Amino acid sequence: MGEQSDVDILIVGAGVLGLNVAYWLSTRFECTIAVADLADGAARHTSSRNTGVVHRPYYLDPQKKRVFAQTSLVSHALWESLAKAAGLPWKRAGTLNIGVEESEVKVLEQYRKWGLRNGMEESELELMDGSGVRNREPEVRAMAGLLSRTDVSVDFGAYSRHIWSRLAAMTRFLGGRRVVSVTRRKESTAVSLVSSEGRESVTCGYLINAAGGGALRLAQSLGFAREHATLNFRGEYWAVDEPFASRVNTNIYRPPKFPQYPFLDPHFVVRADGSRQIGPNAVVVPGPYVYRGFGLSQAASFFDRPVLPKARLFANRDFVTMAAAEWRSSVSKGAMCQRVRSFVPGLNPGMLTRRGIFGVRSSVVDRRGFVPEALIFRDEASAHITNFNSPGATGAPAFSAFVIEGLIRDGLLPRFRERTGGQKIPGWDYRSVISRLDI
Ligand SMILES: Cc1cc2nc3c(=O)[nH]c(=O)nc-3n(C[C@H](O)[C@H](O)[C@H](O)COP(=O)(O)OP(=O)(O)OC[C@H]3O[C@@H](n4cnc5c(N)ncnc54)[C@H](O)[C@@H]3O)c2cc1C
């Protein structure tokens, strides 16, 4: 007789990704699912600590970032249906990308082409000159702009918690438990978890690792991704005081100075609740949960193996220049303000009296530098999703369906009976999501 599992599928991570994976699996299959998270509630980390923009894929290279572009394109309608069904904010603020210098104007033209190649409609994108920018946003100064009309401001944390509330009857939540080790057995996987109550073990037929900043380490404990390392970058925001705040009504983004690195420069952000913030920067920190200070007590983690991919970056002059500027904008409000003043000149540090949220991106690097897409490692016992960074929250519904479909297609996921009925989110149809993905 085979070994008995406590659950058919254990998902590690109750962020937007893990919860979307749990949603599709539990609405599609007759199987038992548990979701473990070191926090005692859903979406306590990056999924609630971001800019909150449902991005359209105009700024994503259709070749290098194809999966992020396609999953973002397709997920937009799903988030809109969820917002409507749950009565959650769906604020159509739009995003105005601006070119302050000639080289940036060319980037905007490139963005428009990418948007269309990624499947956006012509009517979603509008190129404008400096006076067009000023007509739309009188506080903004630029040579040109590209307006993405269909970018929307939302609260991904609230969206994730809504998904969680629909799952609660079908899925076990193992909150406040850190997965510390995973052991492959003959026909199951034993997962060891630690909580304030002590240590416990759960066995599962299949493990899905959606542990955000902890995902790479967990994958490595099973022998995957030995050539890869994680670098963590904290994004910090400042709230903009009224009355200036509401003089800007569109998200304002400037193309990144160093496009080879996976961060956008600080933006002027219109939040789903109507408040305005500037940010985020990207400050190197030694762990995924270093929300205050510089985590010096964890600094030794920079030497976790493999060291070479990280060392190569720190030997690169562009990277060090960028890291120093990001650090300056962490310790100096004036330096942070200055980055946005370059296109919103009326903003001044006196209007930034409260810090906003903080969120950490865990970026995976290899010998060639930053990995542009999410990286998935899989076998017949487990799947590990790493480097699930921006626009990960936007793309999570379609991305998680894409991951599950790959596991089914390649015969890695155990076979379960199809579930009929169940409480589905209106408009969330698995088959139609898969058929619309051009990947
Ligand atoms: C500053 C910033 C701005 C961003 N802006 C946007 C944006 O505007 N639009 C967009 O689409 N995306 C944005 N993103 C990206 C987006 O937030 C992420 O892609 C997404 O939230 C990742 O979701 P996740 O579920 O993978 O990670 P998380 O939300 O971090 O969830 C992972 C979970 O795993 C748990 N976990 C980790 N290790 C363990 C362990 N060992 N045991 C148990 N549990 C564990 C953690 O507690 C956590 O809850 C932004 C990100 C940042 C940092």
Taking alpha carbons only, the member of 87, 79, 78 closest to residue 53 is 79
Q: Which residue has the higher pLDDT, 299 or 389?
A: 389
Q: Is 389 in the pocket of ligand 1 (CB under 6 A)?
A: yes
CATH architecture of 229-370: 2-Layer Sandwich (3.30)
Burial 413-434 (b: 16+ CB within 10 A, else e): bbebeeeeeeeebeebeeeebb
Distance of alpha carbon 125 from alpha carbon 56, whole angstroms = 10
- For the cut 70, the answer to whether the pLDDT of residue 1 exceeds it is no
What helix, strand, coil percent values describe the chain, rounded to 5? 35, 25, 40
Distances (CA, A) of 32 to 7, 22, 27, 38, 371: 5, 10, 11, 20, 34
| Structure token pair of residue 343 | 């296109």
Q: What is the pLDDT of residues 217-268, one digit of tens each?
A: 999 999 999 999 999 999 999 999 999 999 999 999 999 988 888 888 899 9
- Residue in 21, 45, 281, 399 to alter for ligand 1 test, most ligand atoms within 8 A of Cβ: 45
Distance of alpha carbon 43 from alpha carbon 51, whole angstroms = 14
- For the cut 50, the answer to whether the pLDDT of residue 50 exceeds it is yes
**pTM listed for this prediction:** 0.97
Distance of alpha carbon 391 from alpha carbon 343, whole angstroms = 23
Residue closest via CA to ligand 1's atom 14 equals: 390
pLDDT at 136: 98
Q: What percent of the chain has pLDDT over 90?
A: 90
Distance of alpha carbon 275 from alpha carbon 123, whole angstroms = 28
Q: At what angle do helices 392-409 and 16-28 cross, to 10 degrees?
A: 40
Q: How far is the CA of 48 from the centre of ligand 1 (A)?
A: 8
Q: Is residue 401 classed as helix, strand or coil in its secondary structure?
A: helix
Distance of alpha carbon 278 from alpha carbon 123, whole angstroms = 28
| Structure token pair of residue 264 | 């956008």
Distance of alpha carbon 340 from alpha carbon 137, whole angstroms = 14
Taking alpha carbons only, the member of 425, 315, 438 closest to residue 20 is 425
- For the cut 80, the answer to whether the pLDDT of residue 133 exceeds it is yes
Domain residue ranges of the chain, discontinuous segments joined by + = 1-89+154-228+374-439, 95-149, 229-370
Residue 294's pLDDT band, with cuts at 50, 70 and 90, is confident
Residue 4's pLDDT band, with cuts at 50, 70 and 90, is low
pLDDT at 2: 46
Residue closest via CA to ligand 1's atom 52 equals: 50
Mean pLDDT of the chain: 95
Q: What is the pLDDT of residues 143-156, one digit of tens each?
A: 999 999 999 999 99
- Residue in 11, 35, 44, 47 to alter for ligand 1 test, most ligand atoms within 8 A of Cβ: 47
Structural Rg of the chain based on CA atoms: 22
pLDDT at 287: 92
Distance of alpha carbon 319 from alpha carbon 235, whole angstroms = 16
pLDDT at 5: 67
CB 263 within 8 A of CB 372: no
- Region 1-89+154-228+374-439: CATH code: 3.50.50.60
Distance of alpha carbon 420 from alpha carbon 169, whole angstroms = 16
Helix (H) or strand (E) holding 97: strand 95-99
Residue closest via CA to ligand 1's atom 31 equals: 15
- Residue in 40, 46, 364, 389 to alter for ligand 1 test, most ligand atoms within 8 A of Cβ: 46
Least confident of 242-251, 366-375, 417-426: 417-426
Question: Region 268-286: what's the mean pLDDT?
Answer: 97
Question: Region 13-33: what's the mean pLDDT?
Answer: 97
Q: How far is the CA of 20 from the centre of ligand 1 (A)?
A: 12
Task: Report the alpha-carbon angle 300-358-367, nearest 5.
Answer: 45
Question: Region 310-324: what's the mean pLDDT?
Answer: 92
Taking alpha carbons only, the member of 298, 318, 439, 289 closest to residue 373 is 439
Residue closest via CA to ligand 1's atom 2 equals: 50
Q: How far is the CA of 278 from the centre of ligand 1 (A)?
A: 20
Residue 303's pLDDT band, with cuts at 50, 70 and 90, is confident
Beta-bridged to residue 362, according to DSSP, are 232
